[in-house]
């Protein structure tokens, strides 16, 4: 199995020899993410660069605490300067904006991430738009969104989850999706909409399915690529999937069993869909690890660009 990553390109490129088995290829996001972060670490050492990542957490949401801790741990493993700012849930919008402005002006910090969700008294969009576009490693600023939508991908910092999904799709099908039909289930600003733009940039013919779409299963059955990102456990069943399709499950849903225990499941009913798919991501261990890996790659990109501008 040959693995090759090119972090000097806008998208990492991993090639995996196709399986000789009739079984679906399981797109292992954890293994791929580890390979990407190893390449980021090697690039940092080779270039003598110290990317700086600041992660801001407001409040004490348990899930957010886990996410932030994982991001900080991975940043340190990549050789980054990692700073975490833990603010109380009572933080005002003005206080948070002041911190963001301070980080915008800090030459040691190349990437800024404000963990969502934010407390009710804070306008999340206002905070996101206050982050300098070149330090917006989440890829949510209107400048980066505009660059993505208009095709200026080389100048954009791309949203981490769609960027990770695109990488997994490239593993299965290569970078040119000409002639492929893709369906994105969900139209969120974080995943669905940017995912559709990325697929278009790779020459796929794209349809977005959402809550107002009639006959969604019928539309989805026509797709060569299915990206499910709607947050409904097990929504995508065998009736939704064309044999041989590549299925990417972005959903992470916590579901309680009858005995009171809980498990993480995706938006795809894996057991019934996997036999139909040519390639599929598991939950957990699929898209989730890729999101953090792409955050590291975005931070490296941001540092490279800012250092080049300042020299």
Which of 249, 219, 214 minimizes the C-alpha distance to 235? 249
186 is in an annotated binding site: yes
Annotated catalytic, 138?
yes
- Neighbouring-strand partners of residue 265: 253
Contacts for 20 with CB less than 8 Å, ≥ 6 apart: none
Whether 169 has a binding-site annotation, put simply, is: no
- Under 8 Å between Cβ of 136 and 157: yes
- Please say whether the beta carbons of 40 and 33 come within 8 A: no
User: Active site includes 135?
Assistant: no
Phi-psi region of 79 (alpha: psi -120 to 50; beta: other; left: phi over 0): left
- The catalytic residue among 28, 71, 136, 171 is 71
Listed residue (98, 242, 96, 93) closest to 181, CA to CA? 242
Radius of gyration for the alpha carbons in the chain, expressed in angstroms and rounded: 19
DSSP 109: -
Structure tokens belonging to residue 175: 């970078």
Residue 292 is labelled as binding a ligand: no
Q: Which two tokens stand for residue 122?
A: 């804070």
**Contact between 221 and 276 (Cβ < 8 Å):** no
Set 138, 224, 249, 267: catalytic member: 138
CB 33, CB 293: distance < 8 Å: yes
Query: Is there a binding annotation on residue 187?
Result: yes
Q: Which of 28, 115, 163, 249 is catalytic?
A: 115
**Does residue 269 have an active-site annotation?**
no
Question: Looking at the annotation, which residues are catalytic?
Answer: 71, 115, 138
Q: Which residues are annotated as a binding site?
A: 186-188, 252
Q: Which residues are annotated as a binding site for NADP(+)?
A: 186-188, 252
């Amino acid at each position: 199995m040959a693995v090759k990553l090119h972090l000097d390109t806008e998208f990492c490129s991993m090639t995996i020899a196709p399986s000789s088995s009739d079984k679906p290829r399981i797109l292992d996001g954890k293994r791929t993410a580890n390979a990407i972060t190893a390449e980021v670490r090697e690039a940092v050492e080779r270039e003598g660069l110290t990317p700086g990542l600041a992660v801001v957490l407001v409040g004490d949401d348990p899930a957010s605490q886990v996410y932030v801790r994982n991001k900080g741990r991975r940043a340190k493993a990549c050789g980054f300067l990692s700073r975490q700012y833990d603010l109380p849930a009572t933080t005002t919008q003005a206080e948070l904006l002041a911190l963001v402005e301070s980080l915008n002006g800090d030459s040691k910090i190349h990437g800024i991430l404000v963990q969502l969700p934010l407390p009710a008294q804070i306008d999340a969009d206002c905070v996101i738009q206050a982050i300098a576009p070149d330090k917006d490693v989440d890829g949510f600023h209107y400048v980066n969104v505009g660059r993505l939508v208009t095709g200026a991908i080389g100048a954009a910092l791309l949203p981490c989850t769609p960027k990770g999904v695109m990488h997994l799709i490239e593993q299965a099908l290569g970078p040119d999706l000409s002639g492929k039909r893709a369906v994105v289930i969900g139209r969120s600003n974080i995943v669905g909409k940017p995912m559709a733009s990325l697929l278009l940039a790779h020459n796929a013919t794209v349809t977005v399915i959402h809550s107002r779409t009639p006959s969604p299963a019928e539309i989805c059955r026509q797709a060569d690529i299915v990206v499910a990102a709607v947050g409904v456990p097990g929504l995508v069943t065998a009736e939704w999937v064309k044999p041989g399709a590549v299925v990417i499950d972005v959903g992470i849903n916590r579901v309680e069993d009858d005995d009171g225990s809980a498990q993480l499941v995706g938006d795809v009913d894996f057991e019934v869909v996997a036999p139909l798919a040519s390639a599929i991501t598991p939950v957990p261990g699929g898209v989730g690890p890729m999101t953090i890996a792409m955050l590291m790659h975005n931070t490296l990109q941001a540092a490279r660009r800012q250092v080049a501008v300042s020299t």
